[in-house]
Amino acid sequence: MIGVFDSGVGGLTVLKALAAELPAEHFLYLGDTARLPYGTKSAETVVRYALQATEALCERGIECLVIACNTASAVSLPALRERILDVPVIGVIEPGAEAACAASHSGRIAVLATEGTVRGGAYQEAILRRRAGAKVTALAAPLFVALAEEGLSEGPIAETIAHHYLDPLLAAPHGPPDTLVLGCTHFPMLARAIRGATGPEVCIVDSAQTTARHVRRTLEDAGLAARAGEGSLRLLATDAPQRFARIGSRFLERRIEPDEVELIDL
């Protein structure tokens, strides 16, 4: 069973990609909805929350842990790997950075993320670690989060906001990026609007999909991948299961009934 952890519903885009990549696997998803957002919290607090969530998932018998939260991936991954020694622990930032470096021809890479992720610099660091000469621009797009959760991910509002964020980036005097990383789990919901603003020339890297492929390779290399049978999903939340079900249905692209979401206390 694969455990997937996020501060809320955004990580369901990662879960959806994981289920498509690994259809025979059993998944346990935990959204820490009582304490979101993580981006405004101190690093020490995020590490503490992430450790508590991880322990709750490990108690339920997971064989792999996916941190489907950019903030938690950025600040808590080393602590989680030190504490959880018997299962692979995978974040969303490293796979996204690796895919961006592989995709970019010019070395001009942009990261579209939340303010907290941009400020923390984890994507910039991960990209430059792999490609020292890269020109990395990180851009905060906080309105995308609200649009995704309100079900306004397509249409004129989303398109206007996408142009608001991306037009200045693409008109940069030193040259536009040839690769754009969607560095927030909410942002794949706005992929069509983002593509409309960038045009076809820019390669868009979806960190949810790159993480899912990385998880599949990790499980296969470890001999842990399920190869047959029908997968399953259990959903856990720390607050407001009805809201989790309502908004999460959009992210997962299937209806979630409130009684499918188990309320837990960390």
Catalytic option among 64, 69, 101, 203: 69
Catalytic option among 64, 101, 184, 203: 184
Q: Exposed (0-12), middle (13-18) or buried (19+): which is 206, by Cβ within 10 Å?
A: buried
Return d(Cα 15, Cα 46) in angstroms, integer: 21
Return d(Cα 263, Cα 260) in angstroms, integer: 10
> Measured between alpha carbons, how far is residue 156 from residues 162, 190, 192 in Å?
10, 12, 11
- 101 is annotated as an active-site residue: no
Return d(Cα 241, Cα 260) in angstroms, integer: 9
- Rounded to 5°, the CA angle 171-174-177 comes to 65
**Catalytic residue list:** 69, 184
